[in-house]
Structure formats: structure tokens, C-alpha cells
Amino acid sequence: MKTMKLRTLQQPSRLEALLESLIKSQNWVPADAPRVTDRSELSSVLQKLAAKTVKAGGAWWAWVSYDGMRFFVTEMSLELSRERGSPALKVSYYNDQGKLQQYSQWVQLADGTWQRCSF
């Protein structure tokens, strides 16, 4: 991908939209789960992760679900985006206590669907 297009995709609002698209497409959060939009609603450990993510140019999303908070952070994978010619994300999923539950990399295909990448 071209550098200018990658810079546009790295903007926080665009990263948030990409992350939301991925989360919903993979059904990682129940459809009726309320979204947490205010960082102050997060536990102190998740607030720190959110602040660190935003400072590093990433984005976060959180929902309250039947099993507690589902907290996701993402950053653009520039190398993978260039290699694949499509937006690629590095995604981390944390539980209520801020413990990493899963890390994965995803690329958005031309038709808007997402494909998990091995690393």
C-alpha cells in the first residue's frame, strides 16, 4: 500500500472503524452488549492500557458482556499492509484484569471481509 493511504488508515477514527468491523465480523462480542465509550468506565488497569494505546497511535474498543469486560486494542501493521496491499491490524484482546487473552493479526480483503494471518 502507498504510504499516504497507510497514514490515512492510521488515523484513530479510521482504526476504530476497522477494529469495529473486525470485531463484529468475527462475533467476538454479543450483538446486544453495551459498548464502553468513556475511558473512566474501565478498570484502572484497562484505563492505563487504553491511554498507552492512544499515545502510541492505536485505538481501543470495549464492551460489557455476560462474562465481564471485553477490551480490544489495535494498531496498524504497516509491514503487513504493504505486503498484502490492504489494511492489516495487530489486535490484542484483554480481560477485565488486563490479562492478554489473545493476540492476532488480520488483513481486510478487497470484499471487506477479514482474514487471520499467521505470524
Q: Is the pLDDT of residue 5 over 80?
A: no
Encode pLDDT of 66-106 as tens digits.
888 999 999 999 889 889 889 999 999 999 899 999 999 99
Q: 2 pLDDT band (50/70/90 cuts)? A: low
SS3 10: coil
Q: Is the pLDDT of residue 26 over 70?
A: yes
What residue ranges do the domains of the chain occupy?
A: 3-117
Q: Which pLDDT score is estimated for 6?
A: 46
d(CA 84, CA 62): 28
Query: Is the separation of the CB atoms in 54 and 42 below 8 Å?
Result: no
> Letter for the amino acid at 112?
G
